[in-house]
Amino acid sequence: MTVVPAGNPELGFTAQAMLCDSAAAVEGKLYVQGGGWNAIGAAAMPFTAPRIGMALLIGVPYGDTERRHQLSVGLADEDGSALPLGPVTDAGRATHLQLGFEVGRPAQLPPGDTQLLPFALNIDGYVFARPGGYAFVIAIDQQEITRLRFRVHVRSP
């Protein structure tokens, strides 16, 4: 299973993340299909992945509630180069998907506790030009908190 707990001690945010075939976040819960992989077998290159899902569970520290934050997800190849990931716009294709979020502080939340915030991301029809290692880079407020590493390889006939 590809669950990667990580955290940035300066921020206090934590992340548990998993690659999957499809993910959904509904009413504070994650629903995952085909989860826990780290390799994609392609018949030939270039290869179009029908769907790549990511299930993210972000731990928001008590002191960072009631503030606006930015979650971003980028894709890097094994050389660390950022790859296009976002939708095509007039300015071209972005290298990151971004989402702003803010978590309230319920009255029953004891000081120092962390709240869990689920996110689901599905990327349809991504084209990989060549086999190799890749990583989804997950950051909050421009601080990397974890990477989901995987490999694309050509299947043997």
Q: What pLDDT was estimated at residue 1?
A: 39
Is the pLDDT at 157 greater than 80, yes or no?
no
Is the pLDDT at 2 greater than 70, yes or no?
no
CATH of 6-154, one of 2.30.29.30, 3.30.43.10, 2.40.110.10, 2.60.40.2550: 2.60.40.2550
Is the pLDDT at 60 greater than 90, yes or no?
yes
Q: Are strands 143-154 and 39-42 parallel, antiparallel or unpaired?
A: parallel
**Cβ-based neighbour number of residue 137 at 10 Å:** 20
| Interatomic CA distance for residues 141 and 145, integer angstroms | 10
Is the pLDDT at 145 greater than 90, yes or no?
yes
Is the pLDDT at 24 greater than 90, yes or no?
yes
Residues of the chain with pLDDT > 90, as a percent, come to 76
Q: Global pTM?
A: 0.87
The domain locations on the chain are: 6-154
